[in-house]
Structure 1
Amino acid sequence: MTRVLVVEDDPQLVRALVINMQARRYGVDSAPDGATALRLVAARQPDVVLLDLGLPDMDGVDVIKTLRGWTRVPILVLSARRASDEKVAALDAGADDYVTKPFSMDELMARLRAAVRRTEESPLAAGTMFVETADFTIDLRAKKVVRGAHDVRLTPTEWHLLEILVTHPGRLITQRFLLQEVWGVSRRDKTNYLRVYMAQLRRKLETDPARPRYLITEPGMGYRFEG
């Protein structure tokens, strides 16, 4: 059973989420504030966290940053904050998706399923289990990246993007394909997700993120990995 932690201080919304998710056979825990959320993530080890940014004791972005210090659990932000910089701040902190309130339950469930799918093992062809470059190595089976003798921490979304690109070396992977595979959406207005996450991957992997050697942008089309 997939276990979800709902971090939200609105009891009415929590009740609606719990009812809908339990009806779909998810296990659900809830936390009314950031401190409780951090404790429950450690204790219950949920498969997905649904996180409101406006918590009574701390900002949701701080919760994301704290969690990313020790876990790669997928984090879906549920927030009434619509400003682009708010969304970018949450994604930069390590959130995997951002859903603006009010939202449809069907859309939220689709995003949740996509988040769970990203963390599942995907079968890979023989010979693509290990990728080595001059600057970093990627162990696809262990889901581990090493750069300069140090492990590189990647969020589940960053990992899924990287995995798609490195298992198709030299091939153009379209924006539409990446959006569908990673977020379950293909609308063009979501391409900012790709820009944010590709920028994060470059900061973590490229020697000069402004002039990437490995993670190449094909303007208006998509991205490719050059090994």
Structure 2
Amino acid sequence: MDDTGSAAARVLVIEDERALAGMVGNYLDRAGYAVRVLHDGLEAVATAREWAPDVLVLDLGLPGLDGVEVCRQVRTFSDCLVLMVTARDEETDTLIGLSVGADDYLTKPFRIRELVARVGVLLRRPRTALGELSAPVRRLGDLELDPQARTVTVAARPVHLTRIEFDLLATLLGQPRRAFARRALIDNVWGVDWVGDEHLVDTHIKHLRRKLSDDPARPRYVSTVRGIGYRAGDGS
């Protein structure tokens, strides 16, 4: 199930339940992806650094180096898409996973076809419109976002964002006077065929604000619009 130099998207599966990992790998392989399957967190970090996957399917409850720490370490060198898988149904576990840079999540038990579909949705996210070569640099106070280079700075200081965080910010800055509902942000960033808990937008916005040093009580860059969602700016 390893890659052979083709242009197929690379999916790295890290799951300590070997039977489940094998089935997930087989389904992804049949769907046309280049797949590697691992069962260990430390090996996962090393492989992600060497192989540069497009998507990480990452179990939260790994022994030793758990999924949260794997995601945290991978995020220091990669902006690959991360689909977190958890056997724990508590919301706090999901939010912890998303707060370190996961893009989506599934709770066990799940249908493997659903996981494969989620991988496809992540890879089909509508990034072209956000990153058009002709798109101008977007500015808000001392914040600057360059859609072509996919860079963000605050007061000339680089801010390292995940793909989801960057695209959320680019969407908000693209229409700075618009109040975006969560569903509208999902349609723009995850894609119109994404299905799941719309409140994951809140977690990514929280993480984005932290990286921008933006106090939600006195926002400069991302404001909450009560009863609707979010908009760019300080809300004035």
**TM-score, normalised via structure 1 length:** 0.90
Distance 1:113 1:224 in 2: 28
Deviating beyond 4 angstroms after TM superposition, the runs of 4 or more aligned structure 1 residues are 123-127
User: Does 2:33 correspond to 1:21?
Assistant: no
8 Å CA contact retained: 1:6, 1:31? yes
Give the corresponding residue for 2:82. 75
User: Does 2:163 correspond to 1:156?
Assistant: yes
CA RMSD of aligned residues (A): 2.1
Alignment of 1:39-54 (within 5 A): 39-54=46-61
Deviation at 1:209, TM superposition (A): 3.2
User: Does 2:93 correspond to 1:86?
Assistant: yes
8 Å CA contact retained: 1:50, 1:78? yes
User: Does 2:143 correspond to 1:136?
Assistant: yes
User: Does 2:109 correspond to 1:98?
Assistant: no
Give the corresponding residue for 2:206. 199
Distance 1:144 1:67 in 2: 19
8 Å CA contact retained: 1:176, 1:186? no
Give the counterpart letter for 2:231 in structure 1: R
8 Å CA contact retained: 1:118, 1:157? no
8 Å CA contact retained: 2:22, 2:37? no
Q: Deviations over 1:5-58 (max 9, x none)?
A: 000111111111111111110110011101110111111111000001121221
Give the corresponding residue for 2:194. 185
Deviation at 1:65, TM superposition (A): 0.9
Alignment of 1:59-74 (within 5 A): 59-74=66-81
Structure 1, gaps ≥5 residues long: none
User: Does 2:99 correspond to 1:57?
Assistant: no
Give the corresponding residue for 2:180. 173
**TM-score, normalised via structure 2 length:** 0.87
Q: How many residues align?
A: 225
Change (3 A) 1:226 1:186: farther
1:141 aligns to what SS in structure 2?
A: coil
Q: Larger helix proportion, structure 1 or 2?
A: 1
Structure 2, gaps ≥5 residues long: 1-7
Give the counterpart letter for 1:174 in structure 2: A
Give the counterpart letter for 2:49 in structure 1: A
Distance 1:143 1:85 in 2: 30
